[in-house]
Amino acid sequence: MKITRVETMVLNLPMLIDGATPMLGGRARTSIDMLLVRVDTDAGITGWGEAFGHRIFHATRAAIDTLLGPMFVGRDPSQILALHDEAQRVLHGVGRSGATIYALSGIDIALWDIAGKAAGLPLYRLLGGSARADLPAYASLLRYGTADAVDRYTTQALGRGYRYIKLHEITVPEIKAARDAAGAGVPIMVDTNCTSTGWRSRCGRRRISPASPKSAPAVISTPPPERTTAPSGNFAARSRRARSPTPSRASPRSAA
């Protein structure tokens, strides 16, 4: 079996937002952008994958259409690990992160889809099976910026059967609104998206807990990187000591 075509397509789903319009990359975000990857084979089996979207899907699509896609055409789709390793080596010159890795992930998912279809098995069985009959799901809410909107959408998610809530809020009133709507028994996660408003994992908990200890989330995701603090004390003196030779074990100083 050989790969005959790698194709990309973009789905833009409009968003209905109650509250302030979220911004991404300096522009209003009014849709959910998904980049789908279709991989066809000469055996008539088609695999589907999804690459990371958001505003960067244009770059991810270009990476697939101009670099990775042509590289995979004519290859055996069952050699997933070998193809993945080869692609990683090819990508080292353009960066193995961001759009290039998003592109590779979309193709990788499609290859696993082909593998499952070729074997006539659901993918979880192909990967070794599962000890669970079901998995819990959580409702991932957008960042609304108003407590009323958070209350409304949290209540709506609970009404649809979700028992875990994920927020993208960065201020206490909105997080407290979710907790008040959900009650104490519903786990709440907060994804701060590396915001620059002073959030840190420990700092964020301190900001929430004093205002309402019962509102503190169970998980804080993607806080911004910790700041690098300046060295304390006399840096010049410590530098001189660091450059001084270390006494050997035979020296009088070390023997004392």
Q: What is the CATH number of the domain that holds 82?
A: 3.30.390.10
Question: Between these two residues, 20 and 202, which has the higher pLDDT value?
Answer: 20
Does 212 score more than 60 pLDDT?
no
Last residue of a domain, which of 97, 126, 155? 126
Number of Cβ within 10 Å of residue 39's Cβ equals 25
Query: Reduced to 3 states, what is the DSSP secondary structure of residue 20?
Result: coil
Are residues 32 and 102 both part of a single domain?
yes
Domain contains 37: yes
Q: Are 187 and 165 in contact (CB under 8 A)?
A: yes
Residue 209's domain comprises: 139-221
Confidence of residue 199 (pLDDT cuts 50, 70, 90): low
Specify which of 80-89, 201-210, 246-255 reaches the highest per-range mean pLDDT: 80-89
- Which two tokens mark 197? 């408003």
Lowest mean pLDDT among 26-35, 73-82, 132-141, 243-252: 243-252
Percent of the chain with pLDDT over 90: 48
- For 146-184, write each residue's pLDDT tens digit: 899 999 999 999 999 999 999 988 888 999 999 999 998
Last residue of a domain, which of 126, 160, 180? 126
Domain contains 187: yes
Rounded CA-CA distance 189/220 in Å is 6
Buried-state track 144-178, b at ≥16 Cβ within 10 A, e below 16:
bbebebbbbbbeebbeeebebbbbbbbebebbbbb
Rounded CA-CA distance 47/214 in Å is 46
Domain contains 58: yes
- Which two tokens mark 91? 């990508």
Percent of the chain with pLDDT over 70: 75
- For 4-50, write each residue's pLDDT tens digit: 999 999 998 888 777 777 777 677 888 888 999 999 999 999 999 99
Does 139 score more than 80 pLDDT?
yes
Q: What is the pLDDT of residue 39?
A: 98
Rounded CA-CA distance 107/49 in Å is 6
Domain contains 245: no
Give the total number of structural domains in the chain: 2
Are residues 119 and 32 both part of a single domain?
yes
Give the residue from 219, 226, 203, 225 showing the smallest Cα distance to 167: 219
Are residues 185 and 92 both part of a single domain?
no
Rounded CA-CA distance 148/174 in Å is 8
Q: What is the pLDDT of residue 197?
A: 53
Q: What is the pLDDT of residue 29?
A: 80
Q: What is the pLDDT of residue 93?
A: 81
Domain contains 235: no
Rounded CA-CA distance 86/81 in Å is 9
Query: What's the whole-number average pLDDT of the chain?
Result: 80
